[in-house]
Structure 1
Amino acid sequence: MDGQDEPPRAGGGRTRIQERNRAAILEAGLAVFSATGFSGATLDRIASEAKLSKPNLLYYFPSKEAVHMALLTNLLDAWLAPLRALDPEGEPVAEVLAYVRRKLDLSRDFPRESRLFANEVLRGAPHLSGVLEGELAALVEDKAAVLERWMAEGRLARVPPKHLLFSIWALTQHYADFEPQVRAVLGQGHDPFAEAGDYLETLFRRLLAP
């Protein structure tokens, strides 16, 4: 079951087997970290999940911290993309509602990634503090200014822009981060994301209508 490495290619590129093994390790790391958190994860468990030996895993990543950082790095662009897509020239209420939908879709399609991000933040964001204080903070500042302009123009109801974004994050990421609780409460036969989309659209439309 243990993938064996091919000799490195001329020029230093990865071989097919190396690409496959690296992808298997990252997939296994995502499964383990999202289920157990950083403290509960071990290299042995990640290797077992990836169906590789621990020495083979260490060929690609020298520590569980390295696996964790690779996952977080891969996640960041996808995580920031929905807010980046908010168009300053668009219709304000429609733009905010579209952002809510994009965030909800991200929770539906990438629940493990959402839990990985949440676990990192709950630990005090030791691997992400630079991004949170830099790239994310700058992006939020930029989009909050757009929201503030729309409010000043009378095109959105006046609410604190950054707290509006916090509310959107909380109300969309909840469905991924607390998925077992959501499904247990709703019961069989309910699509929590379909119901949540309609509810959140109504909620934010009423909140923001000028």
Structure 2
Amino acid sequence: MAEDGSRALADRPRSRIQTRNRRRILDAALDVFSQHGFRGATLDQIAAQAGMSKPNVLYYFDSKDAIHVTLLNALMAEWLAPLDALDASADPLSALMDYVHRKLEMSFEMPRESRLFAGEILQGAPRMAPHLDSALAPLFVEKCALIRGWSAAGLIAPVDPEHLIYSIWAVTQHYADFEAQVAALTPEPDGARARATAHVDTLFRRLLAPAGDAAQTGAPD
């Protein structure tokens, strides 16, 4: 992705007001982009959501594209952190279940960010492609090799590492990307997160537990 496209010079410290206004714009833009996508979002919508004038928004950011890129840049490191945390020295099943749980937590706690990411990918990743190639791809290859080694050693059940990770993403991010559908279809919404956590835990624990391991029928910790 391109560098942060704001007008402020990188070597000039921002005042507290400037920092606050940038955060206000970015938070408003996250709402707008997550609801309308990049193409459907406008600077007028972002300005209105932020409670600022359009010229004021353009004082801090050159364009809608610059705001979008800034959000994606900030999101990428946080989005990759749970996968990066998979460690060869950890207990394999525990490490993978921690990853599953963290991804699910992020979907419930950061639904706007998930939809921003999903929208960019659905468009073909025009602004994110360099990050996918330079950051995600080598990390993905590294962690797939780790999971493949765990599986070959019998520490987890036989599993296709690439498709395991795809499945974790698909299941956990569904709760953010299809939040409105989940809310409409789930009875007793107050307990929806706990039920989702229990279900997803059981699903992946049974898939990953080595043959004969009692954990494959266990409940969440």
After TM superposition, where is structure 1 displaced by more than 6 Å over at least 4 residues in a row? none
Q: Comparing 79-88 with 164-173, which one deviates more in the overlay?
A: 79-88
- Hey, what does 1:136 align to over in structure 2? 136
Deviation track 1:48-101 (CA, whole Å, cap 9, x = no partner) reads 111111111111111100000000011111100111111211111111111000
Q: In the alignment, what sits opposite 2:196?
A: 196
Q: Structure 2 matches for 1:10-21, cutoff 5 A?
A: 12-21=12-21
Q: What CA distance in whole angstroms lies between the structure 2 residues aligned with 1:20 and 1:144?
A: 40
> Equivalences for 1:78-157 in 2 at 5 Å?
78-157=78-157
Deviation at 1:194, TM superposition (A): 1.4
Structure 1: runs of 5 or more not aligned: 1-7
Deviation, structure 1 residue 134: 2.2
Deviations 1:168-199 (A, max 9, x none): 00000000000110111113444322111111
State which drifts further: 102-111 or 128-137: 128-137
How far apart are 1:130 and its partner, in Å?
A: 1.1
Give yes or no for contact 2:87–2:95 (8 Å, CA) kept in 1: yes
- Output the CA distance in 2 between the equivalents of 1:209 and 1:64: 47
RMSD of Structure 2 on Structure 1 (CA): 1.3
> How many angstroms apart in 2 are the aligned matches of 1:189 and 1:35?
21
Q: Could you tell me which residue of structure 2 aligns to residue 5 of structure 1?
A: none
Counterpart code for 2:45: R
Alignment of 1:11-50 (within 5 A): 12-50=12-50
Residue equivalent to 2:71: 71
Q: Deviations over 1:101-146 (max 9, x none)?
A: 0000111110000000000000110011111122101111111111
CA distance in 2, matches of 1:32, 1:178: 16
User: 1:3: which partner in 2?
Assistant: none
- The match for 2:60 is 60
Q: Percent identity?
A: 53
Q: Specify the SS of the correspondent of 1:168.
A: helix
Aligned positions, number: 201
What displacement does 1:209 show? 1.4
Q: TM-score, normalised by structure 1?
A: 0.92
Name the CA distance, whole Å, in 1 between partners of 2:121 and 2:175: 17
Q: How far 1:200 sits from its partner (Å)?
A: 1.2
Gaps of 5+ in 2: 1-7, 211-221
- Determine if contact 2:183/2:189 at 8 Å carries over to the other structure: no
1:29 deviates by: 0.4
Whole-angstrom CA distance in 1 between matches of 2:156 and 2:187: 36
